[in-house]
A and B are shown apart, each in its own frame.
Chain A
Amino acid sequence: MDGSIPGSGTVKGEGRILMANEAVISTGVAEAPPRVSEWRRFRRVFLGRILVLIGLVIIAFFVFIAIFAPLLAPYPPNDPDLASALQQPSSTHLLGKDALGRDTLSRVIYGARTSLMIGLIVVVIATIIGMTLGLVAGYYGGWTYNIIMRFIDALMSFPMILLAMVIAALLGNGMRNVIIALSIAMMPGYARLMCAQVLAVKENDYVTAGRSIGASNLRIMLRHIVPNCLPPLIVLITMQLGSVILAEAGLSFLGIGITPPTPAWGSMVNDGRQYLLTLPILSFAPGLALMLVVFGFNMVGDGLRDALDPRLRGAL
């Protein structure tokens, strides 16, 4: 893959290209506007777009119902009642009941917990591992670079969902294993972006200056390089949150990962398939929730990209 072109700075992540390198170069060429106006510009661009605001509201809404699920859900999510199975939506059960007689609305609400929790944990783990690998590869170069990046290339040469499936299936079901599987599958993107960033940032004078006063490698990496690599990573993290949530839903749709009683949107869509003719809402509702969450994260990610990308300065 394209990681073979060191420092070309083209990073592929879930079908988007971030020209990471260029972004850094333009930050490196200090335009040096005062910090306050920089922050103001960020706020103006970021919050000035209606879609970003909608995205933020959606995310806030789902985070809220995920945290307060036990208070908001009208019924317990795993309370089977076979006598009332497949009940049509009514005033007491707004979205009806599933094949085991569980309240669909409550399960959708608890599903937000599963989705957001897995999304957040996976992104944190993948970012930490990916950033570290990319940092080491980019900073030391040479053999270290070659070994790490070829390994990353190999991981990236099969579709992310397939990789996650294989690892999750081999580790066995359960939330912990899904998190491990998705973290491994998501990690290469961060490693590659970080590596491209580091390759560009380490050419800056302040890195040479740091070295000339005898700063250790670790100090240079943590104090000078990492902070300057962050903006594109923040964008990727936000965008990946949506992808991770989608991937987790895909896995649970296929019956890999989250074990049955735990409410997960993907498996709810799958369970509902059998009752499409009588009760389509069983599949429709969890899928809609999933789509809204992913939409929210994508919009905020787009907004962040526009606000943090110096190339678009003045264009917006």
Chain B
Amino acid sequence: MTTFIIRRLIMAVIVLILVSLMVFMAMRLLPGDPIRMLVTQSEQQEFTEEQIAKLRHEFGLDRPLMVQYISWLGGIFRGDLGTSILHRAPVAGEILRRLPITLHIGLTAYIIGVIIGVPFGILCAIRRGRFLDTLVTALANIGITMPAFWLGVMLIYLFGLELRWLPVQGYTSPFDDFWLSSKQLVMPVICMILFPIASNTRQTRSSMLEVMRQDYIRTAWSKGLRERIIIIRHALKNGLIPVITLSGMGFSMIIGGSVIIETVFNIPGMGRLAVTSILNQDYPYVQGIILIVAAFVSIVNLLVDLTYGWLDPRIRYS
């Protein structure tokens, strides 16, 4: 197990370094120039070539690419992700301020998705072909299909504007005003949980069906065990392994979803920051956000892999 953990750790570090290199190179080599963007958005009307060159120098964008990359990478280890070109503020601080907002909404959605999705999947597998199975499967199919941003807009229309039950946008920390915070959370979380619930249900259902057809389950039946014991003691152990693998993917989907949901509900989280800084071509922000997201996803996947290896010895020794 130790070798397995070490091997996975090394792999994760390599992947992260590759990510940083790819992001950095993409930002520099593809067309798009943050200084031009800054100049066009600035209140000052005319910029001389000299002033532009000075700005470029100020942000170190005139240095050789390799030097820029190494100095950025070096900064990361000191917790410095660079300085925003547009806002002239340290990137790390702003990301840290917004990360909890995204995680608050994302994790709430993620946990609810697992709590609702997995039992539904088990129920469907046990009652395969019956009414409940058909109904839940149909709902799950609609769930993976529904465009989150459209659902968000429709919810705003229905509950925010027509019925006036919920605030249409914004975010409040639960520590400042728990009631308002919860009310603001309802619609974004609904938009975000749909996909996790649906995919957890579908995945649990199909993997449980797979397991229920195994010989050892038939043996358990023929021993005369009760259904509940067979499901809980025998089937779940193997049936949930693929679901755990999928949950890593689910986390990445949640972060991806936050980009859109935070825009719909005007939530000042990391997703919103990603959109605005991508549109403004503010390199340092984009690089920082992508690196943080990739780090989170890698850690979650590492944990998933370790759990997987721990649950299924075949993986560990392959």
Contact = CB atoms under 8 A, between A and B. Distances in A.
- Looking at A1, A166, A272, the one whose CB has the most chain B CB atoms below 10 A away is A1
B199 interface: yes
B253 A2 contact: no
A165 B15 contact: no
Contacts of B278: 165-166, 169, 256
Interface in B1-39: 7-8, 11, 14-16, 18-19, 22-23, 26-27, 30-32
Contact of B153 (A160, A169, A287, A311): A287
Interface in A162-189: 162, 165-167, 169-172
Contacts of B153: 269, 272-273, 276, 283, 287
B184 interface: no
Interface stretch (B42-50, B85-93, B228-236, B242-250): B242-250
Interface in A278-316: 280, 283-284, 287, 290-291, 294-295, 298-299, 302, 311, 315
Interface stretch (A5-13, A125-133, A136-144): A5-13
A290 B242 contact: no
A306 B26 CA distance: 40
A284 B154 contact: yes
B19 A160 contact: no
A23 to B, nearest CB: 12
A315 B255 CA distance: 37
Interface string B291-318: 0011001100100110010000001001
B125 to A, nearest CB: 12
Contact of A158 (B150, B154, B293): B293
A29 interface: no
A15 B242 CA distance: 11
B227 interface: no
A255 interface: yes
Contacts of B148: 250
B252 A17 contact: no
Interface stretch (B71-79, B137-145, B218-226): B137-145
A242 B23 CA distance: 27
Nearest to B255: A159
Contacts of A242: 145
A116 interface: no
A200 interface: no
Tell me if B's interface is mostly helix, strand, loop or mixed: helix
Contacts of B31: 170-172
A234 interface: no
B15 A154 contact: yes
Contact of A1 (B248, B255, B290): B248
Contact of A250 (B141, B142, B147, B203): B147
Given A17-B203, A161-B260, A276 B157 contact: yes
Interface in A103-137: none
Contact of A157 (B15, B161, B246, B315): B15
Contact of A170 (B11, B252, B263, B281): B281
Tell me if A's interface is mostly helix, strand, loop or mixed: helix
Contacts of A43: none
B290 A166 contact: yes
In this complex, the interface size class of chain A, counting residues with CB under 8 Å from chain B, is: 35 or more
B109 interface: no
B147 A15 contact: no
B15 A150 contact: yes
Contact of A291 (B146, B252, B259): B146
Contact of A12 (B19, B161, B246, B286): B246
A295 B142 contact: yes
A10 B304 CA distance: 13
B67 interface: no
A168 B82 CA distance: 23
Contact of B8 (A4, A6, A10, A151): A4
B130 interface: no
Interface in A240-270: 242, 246, 249-250, 253-256, 266, 269-270
A150 B318 contact: no
B43 to A, nearest CB: 23
Given A162-B259, A170-B26, A172-B31, A4 B150 contact: no
A315 to B, nearest CB: 7
A40 interface: no
A172 B279 CA distance: 10
Given A170-B26, A284-B154, A162 B315 contact: no
A4 B147 contact: no
A298 B195 CA distance: 13
Contacts of A10: 242, 245
B210 interface: yes
A51 interface: yes
B156 interface: yes
A160 B32 CA distance: 21
- Looking at A19, A51, A254, A290, the one whose CB has the most chain B CB atoms below 10 A away is A254
A242 B198 CA distance: 15
Given A162-B255, A276-B156, 6 more contacts: A276-B153, A276-B161, A277-B161, A290-B150, A291-B145, A315-B213
Please name the 3 residue pairs, one residue from A and one from B, whose CB atoms are nearest each other, closest first. Answer: A159-B256, A287-B150, A15-B199
Interface of A: 1-2, 4-8, 10, 12, 15-17, 19, 51, 150-151, 153-155, 157-162, 165-167, 169-172, 242, 246, 249-250, 253-256, 266, 269-270, 272-273, 276-277, 280, 283-284, 287, 290-291, 294-295, 298-299, 302, 311, 315
